[in-house]
Chains A and B, each alone.
Chain A
Amino acid sequence: MTSPEIEANTRAQAELYGEPLGIIVRRCVQTLGVTQARMASLLGISAPMLSQLVNGHRVKIGNPAAVARLQAAYDIAGRVTRGETTSEEGLAELEREVAGGVVTHRSTEAVVLRTVLSAAGDPDEYEAAAVLLDADHPLIAQVLRQYGGHGRG
């Protein structure tokens, strides 16, 4: 990519985001004391993508959620600069905001529930119990069928 193209991209970024992304990101990285790779992960974009944006090889952040997180990071960095908070507290705050995003983990609660129920009765008993409860407590009946019954809930 030629330098006039990069200059044009950087100008376009300034129009979109107020300043070139290289400047915005550098300010966040320095103020919060993190690496650029860590900043990418906080923003929820890949390190090569952030590098392309910072170097002006690409104009726009494609993912709107990442734009919102960069805005949050920039606001926090501003408060750190003005002495309203420390960089450690600011980083912790940013991490909390980001934590609302994608979280994947293995779930075992359904299994635990089934194990507990299977110790107290067999599937036919749970089906019978569910029938008794159907009229007055349909949701409880459904739980018993799903986790204690034959697994067709």
Chain B
Amino acid sequence: MGEVFAGRYELLEPIGAGGMGTVWLVHDRRDDELRAAKLVRQVDAALLLRFIRELSTRIEHPHTVVPRGWAGEDDAVLFTMDVVRGGSVHHLIEDFGALPAPWAACLLDQLLDALDAVHRAGIVHRDVKPANLLLEPTGRARPYLRLSDFGVAVPMHEPRMTAPAVVLGTRGYRAPETAVGADPLPVQDLYGAGVVLAEMLTGERPEDGLALPSAPPPRVDPRLWELARAMADPDPGRRPATAAQAREMLRGTGLVPAPTAAPDDGGAQVEVFEHVHVPGVGAARAPRPTPELPPSPSPAPPPSPSPSSSPSPAPSPSPVPSRGLSHPQTATRRPSPLTVIGLLSVGAGGLVIVLAILMLLG
């Protein structure tokens, strides 16, 4: 039996490393479900806790994986998410090198669909990269992407307590303007998505911070390359303005396969493998079958972003509607009192520092 966290989650095996922590497959003893869980040091947990408290319920989209529940113990916090078992676009590029154009188009279409929903909810993801684009294990059929790791996501248009102490995101996928303190904006996620597209098309990450060369590399589809160039333009003003606009341009290439159709791989035999082998939990237990994957929905009207952002120490439970893909989760909201105090003091410490800086500047 593995270690049990907070008396509830049995850690089964590590299934990946995300920003700031390791992702584990865990058995939730309360409802006998398997979940993915990210273990994060308490000092790094503040943004994710805030995300769960205020933002995650704004995003209800089948192409995202957002943390829903959390539990604390000692100096660590565990965040639970749906298990996505097919690895990531990073693995896909490692295994197959450059992807066939229809595969790249199909995956980008789903990514832009997710980003459109995220941005409409008033949130910037800030860490769009292949390793954060998880895949359901669909084999040779149509791939199914889910945007993950909202660990550094923030709402737009609000004063940032962290600025400009840290530059977040991952080098190579981070829009150049963020390095010089630009406010979080959707076009920065589109930059990351453009770099991801170029990497899917060539099998290699493009050079950091430079405009993509105007001539498409050998065997790369020129229409998709043109789109990658526009999205990954170092000048944010020259990128497509919104994810929806980028998606429109992508559709214009004619390479996005029809809904539910598998993209043509031209004989490359691209396949999304099963990466997480579910071990027996307690009594013999059949792996949860891959759920029916709904086709991408058409863009939904923008939900009204809730302006309230007053911090509350204990988040109120937020009911999460089932969305076909994921089993409904009852979020864990039972941190040890010490954890709450610790987190509060971390937050308070940060506030004091910010106030001190403001006084010095003022």
Contact = CB atoms under 8 A, between A and B. Distances in A.
Interface in A15-68: 44-49, 52, 58, 62-66
A63 B96 contact: yes
Interface in A64-102: 64-66, 102
B181 A114 contact: yes
B interface: dominant SS: loop
Contact of A52 (B87, B273, B275): B273
- The range of chain A's interface size is 20 to 34
Given A52-B273, A104-B172, A65 B97 contact: yes
B167 A110 contact: yes
B170 A106 contact: yes
Contact of B164 (A62, A105, A114): A114
Interface string B158-177: 00000011111111100001
Contacts of A105: 170-171
Interface residues of B, number: 31
Interface of A: 44-49, 52, 58, 62-66, 102, 104-108, 110-111, 114-115, 146-147, 151-153
Interface of B: 87, 91, 93-97, 129, 131, 164-172, 177, 179-182, 203, 205, 268-270, 273-275
B191 to A, nearest CB: 15
A50 to B, nearest CB: 9
Contact of A63 (B95, B129, B166, B180): B95
A20 B305 CA distance: 57
A44 B94 contact: yes
Given A46-B273, A107-B179, A151-B181, 9 more contacts: A48-B275, A63-B94, A63-B97, A63-B203, A64-B203, A65-B203, A66-B94, A111-B167, A114-B164
